[in-house]
C-alpha cells in the first residue's frame, strides 16, 4: 500500500515470515498448470507432500472420494498437464493445492469459469468449508454465478473500486 498497512488475521503482512508448517496464502489461478506426478505431490507441491495434509486438503474441497476411486489413490500419476483428470477435477485439484496447509487467505481467480452446474455446486461447498475453517476467501470473477457464496463484494471499474459492501446490498 502507498499508505497505511495490509493486515492478514490482524497482523501486518510485512511481519509475516514463511514457516515450514504454515502457508499464509493459497492461490488458484484461472488457468491451472499441472505437472505430472502423484496426486499427493501435486496437492502439496510446496511442502514435500505430507500425505495427511494432502488428504485433508482433498477432503476440504470434496475431491477425496474421487481420488480414492483412482487406480492408486493418492499415488496415482495424473499425467502431464493432469490429462488423467476431467477439467472440473483438475480445477478441484488446483483448489486442494490452494487450500493445502490451511492458509489464512485463499485467492481464487475465476474459479467457476469452466464449471458446469455440478462443478459450481462442489466449488460453493468447498468455499463454505474453507470459510468455516476461518480462511479468508477472495474471489476474482467476471461471472456473477459465484456471488451467492460471498459475504462482501467489491466492484472494480477502470482499476478503481466502484462499489464495496455487504453482498446482499451490492448483489441486489
- Is residue 81 scored above 90 in pLDDT? no
- Is residue 47 scored above 70 in pLDDT? no
Q: Comparing 172 with 133, which gets the higher pLDDT?
A: 133
- Is residue 74 scored above 90 in pLDDT? yes
Instruction: Return the closest-CA partner of residue 97 out of 138, 65, 63, 73.
Output: 63
pTM, to two decimals: 0.82
- Is residue 20 scored above 70 in pLDDT? no
What mean pLDDT is reported for the chain? 84
Instruction: Return the closest-CA partner of residue 109 out of 130, 140, 137.
Output: 140
- Is residue 48 scored above 70 in pLDDT? no
Average pLDDT over residues 48-61: 88
Can you tell me the distance from the alpha carbon of 96 to that of 82, in angstroms, rounded to the nearest whole number? 14
Cβ-Cβ contacts under 8 Å for 103 (sequence gap 6 or more): 23, 24, 25, 26, 135
Amino acid at each position: 500500500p502507498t499508505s497505511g498497512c495490509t493486515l492478514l488475521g490482524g497482523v501486518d503482512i510485512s511481519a509475516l515470515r514463511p514457516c515450514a508448517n504454515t502457508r499464509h496464502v493459497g492461490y488458484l489461478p484461472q488457468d491451472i498448470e499441472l505437472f505430472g506426478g502423484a496426486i499427493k505431490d501435486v496437492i502439496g507441491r510446496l511442502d514435500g507432500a505430507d500425505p495427511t495434509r494432502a488428504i485433508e486438503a482433498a477432503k476440504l474441497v470434496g475431491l477425496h472420494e474421487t481420488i480414492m476411486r483412482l487406480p492408486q489413490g493418492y499415488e496415482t500419476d495424473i499425467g502431464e498437464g493432469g490429462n488423467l483428470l476431467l477439467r472440473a477435477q483438475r480445477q478441484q485439484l488446483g483448489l486442494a493445492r490452494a487450500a493445502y496447509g490451511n492458509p489464512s487467505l485463499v485467492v481464487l481467480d475465476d474459479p467457476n469459469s469452466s464449471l458446469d452446474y455440478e462443478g459450481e455446486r462442489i466449488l460453493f461447498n468447498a468455499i463454505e468449508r474453507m470459510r468455516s475453517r476461518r480462511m479468508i476467501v477472495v474471489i476474482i470473477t467476471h461471472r456473477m454465478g459465484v456471488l451467492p457464496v460471498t459475504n462482501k463484494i467489491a466492484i472494480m471499474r477502470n482499476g478503481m473500486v466502484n462499489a464495496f459492501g455487504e453482498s446482499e446490498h451490492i448483489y441486489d
